[in-house]
Amino acid sequence: MTRTAYFDGPLPRILAHRGLAVAAPENSLFAFRDALRLPGVVLETDARATEDGVAVLVHDPQPAGWAAPVARTVLVDVMDHHPGVTTLTAALTSFPEARFNIDVKDGRAAWPVAAAIRSAHAEHRVLITSFREARRRATLRRLPPVATSASGERIALAVAGLRLRSRRLVRAALAGTDAVQIPERLAGLDATTPAVLDLLHSAGVEVHFWVVNDPDRMRELVRRGADGIVTDLPDLAVGALR
């Protein structure tokens, strides 16, 4: 486990899913700016690599309106044709105090993501995650110790331990991670029960649920023991949880 400054601030954590994309495009500097007007919010974002190896904050492999996938588009064309898209470097340097939860969306992005973090000296304020374990590990190998959450493969192993109510198996599955970021149901298992949350916490990880936009549900999950909420509506979350 790596307890960096990413984990500073009070619980529960509010993670702004792609920023606050109500009056601004998701994953844009404007969406991040709007989210950061709220107290104590973490920015959740997605990273892919352009053809020339730059980490840009885009969720889909080929967003609507793009002539080609991100991986086959060079940065200058991204900037010319999609001016709302930002690089990870620009986001980290534009908001030097902000904490970022970075989801590495493709294997080619591992090196560019790590390079952007290092160039911005942002190691202490990022959490690296990815659905695929190989992408997560490839990114972490290029960085000093940083916070990280479990990949999909790690979570699948943890579910086996949860079904058996085995603290040993859950701990083994989540060893070396700092958080799990999960939906409320995992392969048919209700992940929100106090018993499941207790087993996950026994592995020394925080538990963040995504994507939750109903304030009453946010409060209920926190009451049950959730450490964080990933939400499209961080303004409502702040009102409900702060």
DSSP reduced 3-state for 232:
coil
78 token code pair: 């991204």
Known active-site residue 17: yes
Using the CB atoms, write b or e for 226-240: b if 16+ within 10 Å: bbbbbbbbbbbbbeb
The CA-CA-CA angle for residues 70, 75, 76, to 5°, reads 130
How far from chain centre, in Å, is Cα 3?
16
Give the CA count within 13 Å in the CB-facing half-sphere of 159. 17
Backbone angles phi, psi at 198, to 5 degrees: -65, -40
Catalytic residue among 59, 82, 124, 201: 59
Q: Does 81 participate in catalysis according to the annotation? A: no
Residue 46, phi then psi, degrees to nearest 5: -120, 140
Residue with tokens 């202490």: 124
What the block records as the tokens of 69 is 């996938």
Give the residues across from 47 on adjacent strands. Answer: 104
d(CA 215, CA 224): 14
Catalytic positions, written as ranges = 17, 59
